[in-house]
Structure 1
C-alpha cells in the first residue's frame, strides 16, 4: 500500500483506511494522537475516530490515558502466529548456535514485503551499531544487505519493474541514490555471491548478506546478514564476513529442502 506508485482500484476503502492507520502507528514506534493520524493520512477526524474505535474494540489498537493510540496485543498475537508457522526462523537460530565465527556480531534473517525487508529473526550485538534489531522491524530493501541480497535474485528488468511500483528510500548519505546505481550493485552481488551495506542503513554500520534460496535454487525466500561497526572493518575482515555469510546462507537453504525426519528418500 504505502509507497506504491501504482494502485489498483480500491474494493474495500474502509479496510484500506484502517490498515493505513495500523501502518502509521507501527512506523511511528510510539503513541500517536488521533489528530496526527487524521492529518498525516489526510482523513476526516470523524472517519478516523470511527476507525480507531473499531480497531480498539478488536484489540488491534490500544488507547492510552494520554489520549494517544498504540498497537494492541492482538497484533503481537498475529505476528507470533505467523512466525510460529514458519520453520525458517527456528532453523536460523539453531544453525547460528553451531557456529563460533562472528558469534558476537549482530545477525539477521529477513524476508521481502513490498519495498521493505521485514526481520523475522535477529540477534543483537553488544556493539553500538546505531540500530537495535527487533522482530517485525522494517527497513528499505534497497539500503540493506538482506534487501539487496534478495533483489539480486531478480533480473534487471524485474528490478526496474519492481521500482516502477515502489519508491526507493534513502536513509544515509551513503544510501544508493537511484535505480541505475542499484543495478550496478546487484550485478556485483551476483558475481560475488554476497551483498554489502556500507553505511547505507546506519552511518556507523557495515553488513554482509546473502540470499536463502528456494528449493529450485532460482529465487530467494529470505536473506541473512551479519553486521559490524564500520570502524572495525578491514579488507581481510570484510572478505571473511562475505565468505561466512555465503556459507551460512547455503546451509540454511539446504535445511529447507532436506527430507523431514521419518520421511522416505526417493
Structure 2
C-alpha cells in the first residue's frame, strides 16, 4: 500500500496487539516499549486508549492480555466461516482413519495462527490450541501456506527477519526454507520432523477457495514413535481431507 495512505498509529496498535496476543500476560508497558521501539509516553497513551476501549486488559502484575472487545470481534469473524464447522465434521472422519490429531491454521505474516483442532483419543495433548501462534517456518502447516508466494515475495516477507529456532531441528537458513517450500509446491504437501516441538512430527496440505486462493493449511501431528508406521497413510489422508475441504470452499480442480 502507498505510504500516502498509511496510518502509523494503526500500525503501532497492530504491533502491540500482535505481541500481546502471542504471549499474553508477559509484557508490561516498559517491555512493550523496548520490544517495539516505541517511546514510553506514546506507549502509555496507546495502552491507556486500548484498555479504555476494552481491547486489552491490565493484569495485577501490570502485564497485558487481550480484552473482551477483541473477543467479540473474533467471534463475529469466525461466525461467517462455515468452513470451520465443516472442518470438524470432515476432520473427524480422517482422525478415525489415522488416529492422530488434525489442526487447521492460517498464515499471518511470518506466523501461523491455529484456528481449529480435531483431536484423537490419545492422552497426549498438543500445546498448540486455537488462537495460538507459532513461526510458520517451523511448522508444516506454515510451510505449506508459504507455497503461495513467489521467491521475490518470500524474500520481502522475510527481509531483516531471522528464523527463530524452536528446537535444534528447526530450519536455520532462509535458502533451505525456500527449498522446502519449492518441494512442497511440487508435492502438494510438506512434512516437518521435530522442528516446532521435540518428539512431534507433522504433515500438512493446503486448502483453496473458489478463487483458487490458498486460504488455510491443515496438518496431522503425531509423536515421533508413530511417524514411520503412519507417515505415508497420513500423507494420503491429509491430501484427501484438504481436497474435500477445498471443494466445500468452492474450489474447482483444474
Partner of 2:221: 227
Q: Deviations over 1:83-113 (max 9, x none)?
A: 111222111112123342124x221111111
Residues in 1 aligned to 2:7 and 2:110: alpha-carbon distance in whole angstroms? 22
Q: Is 2:118 aligned against 1:120?
A: no
Task: State the partner residue of 1:43.
Answer: 38
> Which deviations, in whole Å up to 9, do the C-alpha atoms of 1:60-89 show, x marking residues without a partner?
111233433221111211112111112221
Residue of structure 1 aligned with 2:200, choices 196, 205, 210: 205
Matched with 1:32 is 27
Partner residue in 2 for 1:255: 248
- Normalised TM-score (structure 1): 0.82
SS of equivalent residue, structure 1 residue 233:
helix
Residue 182 of structure 2: which of 180, 187, 190 is its match?
187
Per the TM alignment, residue 143 of structure 1 is displaced from its structure 2 partner at its CA by 1.5
CA distance in 1: counterparts of 2:30 and 2:200, whole angstroms: 36
Instruction: Provide structure 2 residue ranges, at least 5 long, that are not aligned to the other structure.
Output: none
Q: Deviations over 1:109-153 (max 9, x none)?
A: 111111112112123454546x42222222222221111111234
CA contact (8 A) 1:114 1:166 kept: no
Instruction: State the match for 1:178 in structure 2.
Output: 173
Alignment pair present for 1:14 and 2:18: no
**Residue 98 of structure 2 is aligned to residue 102 of structure 1:** yes
* 2:20–2:64 Cα contact (<8 Å) kept: yes
The offset of 1:167, in angstroms, is 4.9
Q: Judge conservation of contact 2:114–2:131 (CA < 8 Å) in 1.
A: yes
Correspondence for 1:77: 72
Distance 1:9 1:171 in 2: 38
TM-score normalized by the length of structure 2: 0.86
Which is worse superposed, 134-143 or 23-32?
Answer: 23-32
Structure 1: state its 5+ residue gaps.
1-6, 260-266
Moved more, 57-66 or 37-46: 37-46
